[in-house]
Amino acid sequence: MPDLNDIKVKRILKKINSKYEPIYIPVVSESYALLNECFPNVEKKVKLDGGSIVFGWQIWKTPLICEAEFHGIWKSHDGNLLDITPKNPHVESILFIQDDNVLYNGAQIDNIRINNTDNPLVNDIIDIHKALFRIRNKGDRAFVYKSTLKGEEARVYRNLESFGSILQNYIYQGGQINAHCFCGSGYLYTDCHRRELDSLILRSKSF
């Protein structure tokens, strides 16, 4: 569970810039609730039990990235807040900050991510996440939870995904922007596969 005094958590909260205070919310999932699909889950809960939906951000940390995901929780008539959406793996509670600045219209909203390390190479992973989101949610696809990609878009998407997992392993093994590239060419990453990443990201913007 992310610590409110953690410097990276403070930075991501600053980025969100909400007037509310971050709070820990218990996770008590409903039997009908689907994994990660918070908005339809809470909508159903409101129909069955009343109350309302509260929009905001769920915050967590992985070894490389500190992340905020746009999220909906349930507020009861008497003001109790509950996260009714199951997670995998299960957690007892989440760190959440309400935010009224983002208008949710059914279109997917990308996570906010910051580098959780001192290694600038992690920023390349963050750029890959942005590019994947861009492709996955282009045009009308933004309104579809899981969309199917075809042709060149699917190819670039797969390449970005596998680049991301190779890069992650490279970082865990001590990889740096100015160290020898993971491919074994003998060139520095920045003069080798970094260029391939740049062209994949450029492609993701061209669709």
Give the footprint of Zn ion on this chain (CB under 5 A): 181, 183, 185, 192-193
111 near 129, Cβ under 8 Å?
yes
Please, which residue, 145 or 172, has the CB nearer to Zn ion? 172
Please, which residue, 8 or 193, has the CB nearer to Zn ion? 193
Nearest distance from C-beta of residue 183 to Zn ion, angstroms: 3
Nearest distance from C-beta of residue 162 to Zn ion, angstroms: 14
109 near 120, Cβ under 8 Å?
no
**What per-residue string of b and e applies to 145-171 under the rule 16 or more CB within 10 Å gives b?**
eeeebeeebeebbebbeebbeebbebb
Please, which residue, 183 or 202, has the CB nearer to Zn ion? 183
Residue given tokens 């942005």 in the structure block: 130
Nearest distance from C-beta of residue 53 to Zn ion, angstroms: 46
* C-alpha of 186 from chain center: 33
Please, which residue, 83 or 124, has the CB nearer to Zn ion? 124
Nearest distance from C-beta of residue 181 to Zn ion, angstroms: 3
Whether the CA torsion 35, 50, 91, 32 is positive or negative: it is negative
